[in-house]
Structure 1
Amino acid sequence: MTEHDAVVFLAALAALLGVARLLGELARLFGMPLVVGEILAGVLLGPTVLGRALPGVHGWLFLQPTPQKMIGAYTTVGVVLLLVVAGLEVDLGIVRRRGRSAFFTSVLGIVLPLAGGLLLGFMLPASDMVHADQRVLFAMFIGVALSISALPVIAKTLLDLGLFKTDLGLLVMAAAMINDLVGWIAFSMLVGPMQGNAVDVARLVVMAALSLVFIVGTMTVGRRAIDRLLGQLADESHGGRVLSLVILFALVGASITQALGIHAVLGGFVVGVAIGDSPSLRERTRATIHEFVTNVFAPVFFASLGLRVDFLRAFDLRLCVLVFVIATVAKVVGCSVGARAGGLRWRESMAVGFGLNARGAMEIILALLALEAGLLKEQLFVALVVMALGTSLIGGPAMKRLLYRATEEDVVALLRRGGFVPRLASATATGAIEELVRILEPRLGHLATSARTLVLEREQMAPTGLGDEVAVPHAAIEGLEEPMLALGLAPEGVDFDAPDGKPATIVFLLLLAPGRYEEEVRVLASIARSVIDSHAREQLMDARETEQVLVVLAESARRIAEERRARGPALADI
């Protein structure tokens, strides 16, 4: 590498990162995912715009061989770390707990899109393929591509809609986790054959066996070792060390799978799952890793997509419409029918289907890897990118329309017939939950014991700290006929493992009847809106009587509702 190469590489990296971050933030202002702006940055800097307007500048920045390879190396690390972040979202405990519902939802959410993709792959003319003699492999890839979901986009959508901590949100996440586990393993098995003209069955069997050994080893012995190391660094002051360890483990895992002939992304994903499943990994540390990767590596990776393809020249309306319609219909129908078979009502089932329909970054990564492997033409690559962005954009609004249709439960009315503890005596989440259950015991009667057990079990599985010093531990209680709510204040704070690392000073305990997912969503949304304002939270902390609390919550809810009406609907507004 010459000094000139270093200058060009740094200038190109600065251009990609700077423009991608700027357009990503602009996209967020309009309620769209960051990835939309980041890809648009690549389109502007690539052959589509800059290459046409200022070909000399574009060539100097992005077409010189050595700097181009260096950008490629940077994006390779980026894609591995993106899969680590996706793996961190996988909670195997949630998958196990969701059981029947998650199984039906994920299986039908894989099978129908897989069938639709296979059908599309066999129907497309040879002119849409790079190698006409690889029809079976091509069809298998399209099937896998349409069946996969995007955990990070789905998680962000659920967070934006206030659904992440709900039972419905956990079901969507569990099904998405199963989808991604199956999808990425299947894709990794296809990478080797995609890079050659022949399918070596013996080599595929060996690769499958070796990948199984790696996955099982990482999720058993490796997971225990990782958990032990993270446990020793559980203190928040060691967050930097934990971040270094996570990246180290990810690079080692990626190196192993790449050496086995499987793509490096599988190693990053499996290591992310193993780390994310560790009880010693704090939510604050998880959020730090996510912020680091999505703000430093992800923008450059997604912007670099636009450098590879002339989107105007490669845009094929026929392919874009075909891919989008087949992908959306197959995924939404498959997941909706699966969720219905798992016990949900049709409206909730359809919301699950649209939530899992988001492909986002994971689809784009998969499409790029297939393009690099020489399996896709640029036209189909662009169609997959358009489909990934389109399905991500419609997921949130569709879920919102399906779930937020009825009048919300009034948090004031619920609390009026519930209970209030002006000062929680306990400094732990377990103790705080037990205190709030005791307040509701006169109304719960014989259900009090099971309520205490179920809320504590759910808290261990998925901590309910929302951030901004608010927590809402909750659970569905068999035999309960109407929702119950209790509020406790903790001036010293109680650790509910919130993403922002802050202890909760305002703790709502919510008990619901089983299977009433819409009701859960509405009540949690009502609670969130009542305490979203920092001034309302400060007033709550000064309250000593139930009536004072009710006045603060009612006034806060009224003020927030007026503000929402004044600014109009927004994509991520709840």
Structure 2
Amino acid sequence: MTSAAVVVAPISSHALMVLLLQVGVLLLTGMVLGRLAQRFGMPSLVGELAAGVILGPSLLAHVAPGLGGWLFPQEAQQMHLLDAVGQLGVVLLVGFTGMHVDLSLLRRQGVRAVGVSAAGLILPLVLGIWLGFGLPGQLRAGGADPTVFALFVGVAMSVSAIPVIARTLIDMKLIHRNVGQLILIAGTIDDAVGWLLVSLIAAMAETGLHTGDVMTALGHMALLLICTMTVGRVVIRAAMRAAMRSGVPGLPIVTAVALMALASAGTNLLGLEAVFGAFLCGILIGSDKGIDTKTLRPLNTTVMASLAPLFFATAGLRMDLTALADPRIALWGLAVFAVAVLGKFLGAFAGGLSARMSRWESLALGAGMNARGVIEVIIAMIGVRLGLLSGAMYSIIVLVAVLTSVMAPPLLRLAMNQVEHTAEEELRHLQVRALQDPSDGGRDPISRT
């Protein structure tokens, strides 16, 4: 006679109470500070991160250590509960970012965009790797491989953020301009390559920097891409179209969430970064003309208004700005920021000139692609999870994400004021206005600052 299965006890009453308080306090503070940031012309991301900074070790832990330690106890079990909620938001946010990829636009201007993207990716990547080898050991997490750390820093310096770029171009009414379109396409390529590189480095961090393990990771990545373009495309198309035809309210949303979650789990099973699977899934959903992505707007609202801000506030909790009080750390932080900005600017600028664009157009490319925003924050969190970044280095990378996102709009406006409109751009502007949905003010439903 077999005994009955042991029933696992649910979350304790105290842990649940603390989790609910954390979620409520972080969301309310993030909402207030996010709106305040927008009032000053900054991305809401800045305010949401600031919410975590204020409530975390940078401020609350010093001003009211008793309250800070009780509300945000430095216990793995309690923090993992909060992380789990935030990670669901990240998977869906990156999935929506993938849905923003316009493959038809990529095919039309692919050759030119690939050249600009390559220049804007390779130079900051190389400079970042070089800097990563030169950074002091105290910016690496204990036990982190120096080579893997340097590779990770290079990737962090080279990415752009499609959600931030798209929202900036839309808000500044530049989405119809030729330069705006090229920024969007080149940024899309950078994002895709960036996620691929992050997944590869994640595999290296977990298995070690051995030739056999690296080749295995490359094999897994090739297998993933092949499955995505074949079986994945068929399954996702069939599932989403069936959900659309069913007429059941909310079924397309449930199907999209399930597909993104399963794609992330499958990618993680292969030893690659989970969000890469969500990104590929989002591309497949967004590229199928038979899928009406407008039905996913309620999910988009939920992610953008609650889950994503909660993730960014949680990311802010891990920042300890007091570490930057050390002059040596502050100087290295300035070096990281300088390499990130100059590498991206010079790379995109050179790419624009090689594509026979004017100097001002090339400067606009550099300004637009320099925005790191959401993607950089997510990558920084991945670096912490992989055991590569110290608290100080994590704070530095997140600050780079914030500062480059704040820099992008004024520099882009300055450069584009010197670029004349063309007849093609005016025609595209009329087409964009005709396609916009008046109910959402003409804003892209899946863009994110």
Scaled to the shorter chain, the TM-score interval is 0.7 to 0.9
Shift of 1:134: 2.3
Whole-Å Cα distance in 2 between the matches of residues 284 and 323 of structure 1? Answer: 40
Contact kept in structure 2, 1:111 and 1:334, CA below 8 Å = yes
Contact kept in structure 1, 2:144 and 2:387, CA below 8 Å = no
1:176 paired to 2:182: no
Counterpart residue number, 2:67: 57
Scaled by the length of structure 1, the TM-score of the pair is 0.69
Which of 352, 361, 386 is the aligned partner of 1:339? 352
Whole-Å Cα distance in 1 between the matches of residues 198 and 404 of structure 2? Answer: 20
1:504-557 deviations in Å (ceiling 9; x for gaps): xxxxxxxxxxxxxxxxxxxxxxxxxxxxxxxxxxxxxxxxxxxxxxxxxxxxxx
Shift of 1:464: 5.5
Whole-Å Cα distance in 1 between the matches of residues 316 and 342 of structure 2? Answer: 28
Shift of 1:60: 1.8
Contact kept in structure 2, 1:227 and 1:279, CA below 8 Å = no
Counterpart residue number, 2:397: 384
Partner SS, residue 174 of structure 2: coil
Matches within 5 A, 1:460-475: 465-468=435-438
Contact kept in structure 2, 1:210 and 1:260, CA below 8 Å = yes
Counterpart residue number, 2:279: 269
Shift of 1:100: 2.2
Which of 313, 320, 332 is the aligned partner of 2:333? 320
Higher RCO (Cα < 8 Å, 6 or more apart): 2
Counterpart residue number, 2:109: 98
- The letter for the 2-side match of 1:21 is M
Shift of 1:213: 1.7
Distance 1:337 1:289, change over 3 A: farther
Counterpart residue number, 1:113: 124
Contact kept in structure 1, 2:149 and 2:388, CA below 8 Å = yes
Shift of 1:184: 0.8
Partner SS, residue 296 of structure 1: helix
Matches within 5 A, 1:511-550: none
Aligned residues: 430
Whole-Å Cα distance in 2 between the matches of residues 209 and 275 of structure 1? Answer: 25
Contact kept in structure 2, 1:284 and 1:498, CA below 8 Å = no
Counterpart residue number, 1:542: none
1:140-199 deviations in Å (ceiling 9; x for gaps): 111111111111111111111112233322211111111111111111111133246x31
Contact kept in structure 2, 1:84 and 1:270, CA below 8 Å = yes
Partner SS, residue 340 of structure 2: helix
1:193 paired to 2:163: no
Whole-Å Cα distance in 2 between the matches of residues 46 and 336 of structure 1? Answer: 38
Whole-Å Cα distance in 1 between the matches of residues 245 and 179 of structure 2? Answer: 32
User: Which has the higher mean CA deviation after the structures are superposed, 173-182 or 333-342?
Assistant: 333-342
Whole-Å Cα distance in 2 between the matches of residues 463 and 212 of structure 1? Answer: 40
Which of 202, 205, 222 is the aligned partner of 2:215? 205
Distance 1:208 1:289, change over 3 A: farther
Shift of 1:236: 12
Counterpart residue number, 1:70: 81
Larger C-alpha radius of gyration, 1 or 2? 1
Partner SS, residue 151 of structure 2: helix
1:243 paired to 2:256: no
Contact kept in structure 2, 1:148 and 1:183, CA below 8 Å = yes
Counterpart residue number, 2:7: none
Distance 1:324 1:238, change over 3 A: farther
- The letter for the 2-side match of 1:291 is T
1:350 paired to 2:355: no
Contact kept in structure 2, 1:319 and 1:379, CA below 8 Å = no
Contact kept in structure 1, 2:170 and 2:443, CA below 8 Å = no
Whole-Å Cα distance in 2 between the matches of residues 275 and 92 of structure 1? Answer: 12
Which of 44, 51, 55 is the aligned partner of 1:41? 51
Shift of 1:133: 7.4
Looking at secondary structure, tell me which structure has more helix per residue.
2
Distance 1:123 1:67, change over 3 A: closer
Matches within 5 A, 1:127-526: 127-130=138-141, 134-195=145-206, 198-234=208-244, 240-282=250-292, 284-285=294-295, 287-314=297-324, 316-405=329-418, 465-468=435-438
Shift of 1:225: 3.3
Distance 1:123 1:202, change over 3 A: same
Contact kept in structure 2, 1:314 and 1:378, CA below 8 Å = no
Shift of 1:388: 0.8
User: Which has the higher mean CA deviation after the structures are superposed, 107-116 or 49-58?
Assistant: 49-58
- The letter for the 2-side match of 1:215 is L
RMSD: 2.9
- The letter for the 1-side match of 2:67 is V
Contact kept in structure 2, 1:239 and 1:285, CA below 8 Å = no
Partner SS, residue 42 of structure 2: coil
Identity %: 31
Q: Could you tell me which runs of 5 or more consecutive residues in structure 1 were left unpaired when the two chains were aligned.
A: 415-450, 472-496, 501-571
1:261-314 deviations in Å (ceiling 9; x for gaps): 112111111111111211133353454443221112111111112222322234
Whole-Å Cα distance in 2 between the matches of residues 295 and 89 of structure 1? Answer: 18
Whole-Å Cα distance in 1 between the matches of residues 383 and 303 of structure 2? Answer: 23
Contact kept in structure 2, 1:13 and 1:300, CA below 8 Å = yes
Shift of 1:129: 2.9
- The letter for the 2-side match of 1:348 is E
1:371-400 deviations in Å (ceiling 9; x for gaps): 222211222211111111111111111111
- The letter for the 2-side match of 1:220 is T
